[in-house]
Structure 1
Amino acid sequence: MTATAPEVTTDMQVIITCRGIGEPYGTNSLSGVTKNLDPKKYLIIELVWSAAFGPVPRWDGSSFTANVLHAEQALLELIRKYPGAILLGYSGGAQVAGNVAAQIGAGQHWGLIIRAVALLSDPSRHKSQIIGVNRGGQGILGGRYIPSDRFHVLQFSAPGDPISELPEGNALGDLAQLITSLSLVDVPAWMEDLRRKALKGALQFWRRSGVDWWEAYRWSLGYTAHGRHTCYLHEKMQNESVTYAERAATMIAGVR
């Protein structure tokens, strides 16, 4: 399901926002970005999707994998209605927007056009794609490269955010692979996903020598206790005088 298509005047640019896991529809983290944009120049359309990760925020929610796939299809429909839109995503919504942007960049959806994709805390951020200081690391779900020869790719990641800046090889990333298909209402599908990953050799971390579980736990605190995943609206970027949200808005405003 997607929102009813509003009318767009010829002098307005469309921005499609994809909120993060558990965030409310309407006012959420991405509102902190779009509030810095001129409402006379930009039409903000929010993707309607579950924004759920298994039992979060509802115990009877579908798996993250299933929700992302459904959201990708809904986002593609919106892009068809608004060719040349800018995609803006945060956290789980960044996974959705980033996946679709990567597909379009690779030519998988002939005729679909976007002007830019701006992502805050992308769970699949590629280690080479970041605005500002590159401190290493990548998304907790691995690195998904988004081709940038057709549109702007704006990736933002805060220091210590394990969702988008986890050191490669950290066991927390392996654990994340275990739960992407977790759903309390469809346990068989979760088990099948684990079987498929095991057959592909993607669940071998317990066999690796020298797995640093303490380091994995330390990085998990960035999400559970230290607010590293939720700092994008109020924390200034490293070596800069603006927040991540402010910098994202400025760069979006510069897209032509």
Structure 2
Amino acid sequence: MTITVLTCRGVGEPFPSPMLANVTRLLDPRRFRIVAVPWEASYGPVPDPHGVSFDEALRTGREMLLDNIADDPNPVILVGYSAGGVLAGHVAAEISWGNHPGLDLRGVGLISDPFRHPMNVVNATASGWGIAGRRIIPVTFPVWQLADPSDVITCCPPDSPLRTIADQSAAFSLADPHAWAADLLDRLRTRRWQATIRDWRNIPQVWRAYTRAISGVKGYLTGEHTSYHLRRYPGSTRTYCEWLADRINQVKE
């Protein structure tokens, strides 16, 4: 039996995905068929100045990914990196909760998922959770979360002020600024914000939170988010990407 691996690239990555190629090239070609999902992978003006917002890219990407799974005659494994990890993880969660009966999903691998939930992590050195929030995937199939502790996108401290930036920017787009403004108003009305610093009078706590945030941004700018094909998975001689490929190759038909 052939298993189809659907890959979801990160924002700004050329199609299909240089990062995920470090996983898929190690898969057994006799057993796995690789298909890259051409979702927009847009975060407002990144990479296209007039691109759609991240929220809109996720909406259309979700429909595309669900159609891909439904139309594929083979069982499917989802693999996503960064923003593509959000898309793959959200869809995997829906399937795991039973929202799409009949879809045959055999596993999901998420590299630097911005919505990583601590309950789904397999790397004991990872702390915090995703910078954009927490999304639990009930373990009805294998869930492989790859989270390097130095990567603020997926290992963001609970009280980090960076969370507010993620909340504010999800709906931003130069192509539709009105939708962004409407989203901000809705967040204010419904208090749809991630909790960060709770006591601004606690100067040591505020200082620590901003110091960690600055460190996290510096790490992001110097490649902590883009080194999963180079860094070793904790306790292993394999890189994160190699480790994920090993897990997928072990999936039974």
Corresponding position of 2:177: 187
Corresponding position of 1:4: none
Corresponding position of 1:121: 112
Q: Which has the higher helix share?
A: 2
- The 10-residue stretch of structure 1 (194-203 or 176-185) with the greater mean CA deviation from structure 2: 194-203
- C-alpha distance in structure 1 between counterparts of 2:17 and 2:111, whole Å: 16
| Alpha carbons 1:172, 1:217 under 8 Å: kept | no
Corresponding position of 1:111: 102
| Alpha carbons 2:88, 2:108 under 8 Å: kept | yes
- C-alpha distance in structure 1 between counterparts of 2:95 and 2:118, whole Å: 20
The amino acid of 2:40's aligned partner reads: S
Corresponding position of 1:130: 121
Say which SS state the counterpart of residue 20 (structure 1) adopts. coil
| Alpha carbons 1:140, 1:166 under 8 Å: kept | yes
The amino acid of 2:15's aligned partner reads: Y
Give the Å deviation of 1:40: 2.0
1:92-111 per-residue CA deviation (whole Å, 9 max, x = no partner) reads: 10000000000011111122
| Alpha carbons 1:159, 1:228 under 8 Å: kept | no
1:134-171 per-residue CA deviation (whole Å, 9 max, x = no partner) reads: 4321011111000112x111111112111111111211
Give the Å deviation of 1:78: 0.6
C-alpha change, 1:109 and 1:27, in structure 2 (3 Å) is: closer
| Alpha carbons 2:159, 2:196 under 8 Å: kept | no
Q: Does structure 1 residue 239 correspond to structure 2 residue 235?
A: yes
Unmatched 5+ residue regions in structure 2?
none
Q: Does structure 1 residue 162 correspond to structure 2 residue 152?
A: yes
The amino acid of 2:186's aligned partner reads: R
Corresponding position of 1:97: 88
- C-alpha distance in structure 2 between counterparts of 1:174 and 1:142, whole Å: 10
Corresponding position of 1:12: 2
Q: 2:67 aligns with which of 59, 63, 77?
A: 77
TM-score by length of 2: 0.92
Say which SS state the counterpart of residue 16 (structure 2) adopts. coil
| Alpha carbons 1:64, 1:181 under 8 Å: kept | yes
- C-alpha distance in structure 1 between counterparts of 2:189 and 2:247, whole Å: 43
- C-alpha distance in structure 1 between counterparts of 2:124 and 2:197, whole Å: 32
The within-5 A match list for 1:165-244 is: 165-203=155-193, 208-209=199-200, 210=202, 211=206, 212-224=209-221, 226-244=222-240
- Cα root mean square deviation, aligned: 1.6
**Count of residues in correspondence between the two structures:** 244
TM-score by length of 1: 0.91
Give the Å deviation of 1:208: 4.7
- C-alpha distance in structure 1 between counterparts of 2:58 and 2:21, whole Å: 21
- The 10-residue stretch of structure 1 (184-193 or 79-88) with the greater mean CA deviation from structure 2: 79-88
Give the Å deviation of 1:175: 1.4
Corresponding position of 2:249: 253
Give the Å deviation of 1:207: 7.5
- C-alpha distance in structure 2 between counterparts of 1:134 and 1:76, whole Å: 33
C-alpha change, 1:166 and 1:146, in structure 2 (3 Å) is: same
